[in-house]
Amino acid sequence: KIWRFFLFASALAVARSENCQLPKTSTTLLKWTLNMGTTNLVKISSVKEALTLLGTIETDITIVSVMGRYRSGKSFLLDNLIPHDEGVYPFKVGDTVQAETEEVSMVVLPPCATKLSSTVIVLDSPGLFAPNRPSLFDAQVLAVLNLLSSVVLYNSQSVIDRDALERLAFAIETAMTLSYFEQHKSDKSISRPHLLSVVQNLQLRLEIRGNAVTGKEWIEDTLKQLDQSNNGTSRINEQFHDFFSSLDLVTLPYPVANTKDLPKLSNLPTSELEPAWLAGVKGLWDKITGLSAAKEMGGMKLRGAGLASMIEKWTESINVPVGSFRANSAQELLDHVMAGEVAQAKVKFARLMQSKMDKAMPEAEVRAAAQKAVEEAAGPGALAGFKEALSKGVSDLIEGYVKVGRMNSCSESGSSSSSSSSSSSSSSS
């Protein structure tokens, strides 16, 4: 009991010492409408309230997401993985054969909860390969995770499933198009996620051909064997390495000693979960935080406004009939993100300038103040070309401030002249 308590209470104590608010519920970020009638549409939409919440985040953002077969314990894993108050589980967990998660839901962890410099957003996703969903749905889920995530967890049970990997490879091939994937890094590319495969309920030894192996060696060997068993007709190993920045694998034992407790996992307190499983979950979280890096696009570390803009644009472009998708260019997506960032920075620029324009200012002083406000509104680490785009976007405002400075100068001059005339008149009198 002391060991169980230590694993979770130690992390929470740090958060509470700073009066850090841990999340109590998740927020729906993306949802799907499955209309498999005559239109054959899989429609994805973003939730405005969630985008508004993202837009308030001003730090760098690290995004951790989970994917895997439906009913494989993804939500339960996340609930126990992230810092949380005892008995409070943000993600919805089900105990029946029916798929429980039908949307991408998110939990926002502030830096004080994780001791990272960035805000961590944790995403729970719909399970893959469910019988009531088309294959494009799976590709869209994968595209979401590739587009948004810094680290992706692929959750499975007991062994690495050959069928799941093959179907996953097929979905990856589609997702490469849907998510503006670029194999070679460029100034427009989106940073690729790391893949951490999580094999739960493992009771077997990690050995291959009589030799002990690491989790990373296990998944690497499995991908190579898949291509070999297909007589070289598949390129699954290559697809995985192209799609993900790195591959690794973590194993977890059963979370409870008695398998009869598995159907009621969501109702069990932490104190009744196996210490070895809790230790494994903590080790997994340590791996995740070790890999965590701010999501980048075109060399820019995305913050809330840029991320929300990117999600909005992506959901607009992907809602098309099955089989007739045409990928938009990465440049188009980048332009849209840039426009959203510029629009927000213009508001900050105007606020900064208004505080300076309550007195007379020569034109040179106005322009110098405007340049300083542009740099402050753009912030550090801005995307290449962003300051130039912002300067162009506020050029009309700057000219307006120059006129205001002149008017204030004239007003002060007139006031001074009037005061001087009044003084002269009084003296004459």
Query: Which of 110, 55, 30 lies closest to 306, judged by CA?
Result: 55
Residue 132 has pLDDT above 60, yes or no: yes
For the four alpha carbons of 272, 275, 276 and 277, in that order, the dihedral sign comes to positive
Place of tokens 């550090």: 380
Angstrom CA distances, 393 to 31, 57, 59, stand at 34, 23, 24
Give the integer Cα–Cα distance in Å for 392 and 55: 23
Convert the pLDDT of each residue in 24-80 to its tens digit: 889 999 988 766 555 555 678 899 999 999 999 989 999 999 988 877 788 888 888
Domain boundaries, the chain: 27-306, 333-413
Convert the pLDDT of each residue in 185-205 to its tens digit: 444 567 788 999 999 888 888
Convert the pLDDT of each residue in 3-21 to its tens digit: 444 444 444 444 444 578 8
Convert the pLDDT of each residue in 256-290 to its tens digit: 888 888 778 878 888 888 999 999 999 999 999 99
Q: Summarize the confidence of residues 135-147 as an average pLDDT.
A: 73
- Would you put residue 73 in left (φ > 0), alpha (ψ -120 to 50) or beta? left
Convert the pLDDT of each residue in 290-306 to its tens digit: 988 888 876 778 888 88
Q: Quick check: helix, strand or coil at residue 193?
A: coil
Question: Sheet containing 151-157: which strands, arranged edge to edge?
Answer: 41-46, 27-35, 103-109, 119-124, 61-68, 151-157, 194-200, 246-251
Split at pLDDT 50, 70, 90, the class of 224 is very high
Higher pLDDT, 326 or 52: 52
Higher pLDDT, 335 or 363: 363
Angstrom CA distances, 376 to 311, 346, 351, 353, 382, stand at 26, 11, 11, 11, 11
Return the percent helix, strand and coil in the chain, to nearest 5: 50, 15, 35
Residue 141 has pLDDT above 80, yes or no: no
Output the pLDDT for position 282.
Answer: 94
Query: Which of 198, 288, 278 lies closest to 8, judged by CA?
Result: 278
Contacts of 229 (CB under 8 A, 6+ apart): none
% of the chain exceeding 90 in pLDDT:
21
Query: Which of 291, 384, 330 lies closest to 62, judged by CA?
Result: 291
Strands 296-297 and 300-301, bridge-based pairing: antiparallel
Give the integer Cα–Cα distance in Å for 143 and 171: 9
Topology of the domain covering 27-306: Rossmann fold (3.40.50)
Query: Which of 5, 29, 2, 42 lies closest to 308, judged by CA?
Result: 29
- Would you put residue 293 in left (φ > 0), alpha (ψ -120 to 50) or beta? beta
The enclosing H or E element of 259 equals none
Output the pLDDT for position 340.
Answer: 66
